[in-house]
Every structure is written in structure tokens, then in C-alpha cells.
Structure 1
């Protein structure tokens, strides 16, 4: 009985320590990124010839992008997901749309309705009508600071 209590107590302490560490990591700014500094995350989609970019200054999003750029994590969100804004932006050259920085994030999965190559995001397509873009095959290609 005493051994069982010790095991349960050790498990509770370990769980509390892991929870505290995870909370601290999630709430601390991303290492290497200046607070409130906007960055462009550029993605390669499909065979790597198709690219698009998203502006963000969110530290957690930037930290996850950096992790995806430098390693291939076995788990966790990796699908870029954001709302389509129907106007060109210098942040996403070559397209008549861009992704809203507000709410842009990485998701575990995305709806099939928002999966496409960037060239297929235009009025009349399913992706456009859905209003969100989440290319499943997107890989982070680069992260660079930009002017505010």
C-alpha cells in the first residue's frame, strides 16, 4: 500500500512538473524572435515549386515555424491555416490574395476544402469559397524579418 502511494505521489509530482514546464514554454516569447517584430513565413507547397508567404508577429506561431523549418517533428500541428483576404499584398507576391495575420496558426489537420496549391486560390474555386487556406503539403521554406 505504501509503495502504491509513493508511485502515485511521484506520478503526480512528475505530471505537475511537466505541466508547469509546458505552460512556461508556451507563455514565453519565442527564442530568437524580437517581440512585436513582424516576420514573413514562406511555404513551399506540393513539389516545392509553388510558394506563398504569410506575415505574423505571434511568438508561438514563429517558434512552431522555426521548429518545422529546422526539424521534422513527429507530432504536433504542422498544417498552416489562415483566412484568405481577397486583395494583393507585397507579403504574398504574384497572387491577388494574402492570408490574414490575425488568427493564422498551424493546425493538426485541415479541411479538404482548403487544401490546394497557391495557384488554385482564386474566385470560383472551392478553396476561395471556403474562405480559408490550409495546404496539407506545405513546408516552411524560410522565415525572415520584415518592416512593420
Structure 2
């Protein structure tokens, strides 16, 4: 069972949800998914990903809170067209393929706006190397 233990808010910090223990479940959960907002350091741009697995949501919260640094590279397959939760873009990450990695190919590193240019972005995945998780919220 997934648990929501507290809401944290700060004047200078983004509101965030603290999720229950990682051991709660790691199975794929469509109902009750979370959305992580991720900032790419080099540009300051943000994008959003849907997190279906509790383990991915838990890791996002740990990264956001500075409790861990690895695995810390978000990676998943790019879906063109509907932006899903990734509003403001013409693409989103397939939530079924999303996970956190320690190492990825440099070819999938870049800025969110670069992924929008399908003629220039030649790989199927997106995996920005230097990121900060700025929020994790229940999907509405």
C-alpha cells in the first residue's frame, strides 16, 4: 500500500510530497501515479514525467531532498505528439519506460527544447545528466 506521510513547504523551496517507504511496493501502479518536475541545470528548463512505479517516485523524492545522488539520471523513451503531463512540449516520456540510471549514453543528454526538434534529435530516449528534481506530486 502506498502512503503519503507529509507535505513540506518552504518560502524558497518548492512544495513537495514525502512518500511512504520504498518497500511499500515497486510494482507498476497506473492509478495513483505521481508527476515529477525536473529542472535541467545547464538551461534552467523544466520538464515533467509521469512516475508509475512507487520505487521511481520514492527515488525522485530522495533526490529532491538531497538524501541520495545516485541513481540520478532520468531516462525513458520519447513519445511524439501529445505532451501528456509534459505540458508546454510536443513530446513526453513513455512512463512505462521511465527509470533512474547511474550511466547513460551521451547521445540522449540535452535540453528539453532540443527534444522538440524531431529532425535534430536522433535518438529515441531522453536522459539529461545534470538535473534537479523540483517537485513530486500526485497525478491529478
Normalising TM by the smaller chain, what interval? 0.7 to 0.9
| More strand by percentage | 2
Structure 1 unaligned residues grouped into runs of 5+: 1-24
In 2, Cα distance between the equivalents of 1:88 and 1:36?
20
Instruction: Please name the residue that 2:88 is paired with.
Output: 94
Alignment of 1:1-148 (within 5 A): 27-29=23-25, 36-47=31-42, 49-74=44-69, 76-121=70-115, 122-125=117-120, 128-147=121-140
In 2, Cα distance between the equivalents of 1:132 and 1:144?
23
In 2, Cα distance between the equivalents of 1:39 and 1:53?
10
| More helix by percentage | 1
1:46-74 CA-to-partner distances (Å, cap 9, x unmatched) read 24620000011201101110100111525
Structure 2 unaligned residues grouped into runs of 5+: 1-20
Alpha-carbon RMSD = 2.2
Deviation at 1:129, TM superposition (A): 1.7
TM-score, with structure 2 as normaliser: 0.75
Which structure 1 residue ranges, 4+ long, deviate > 6 Å from structure 2? none
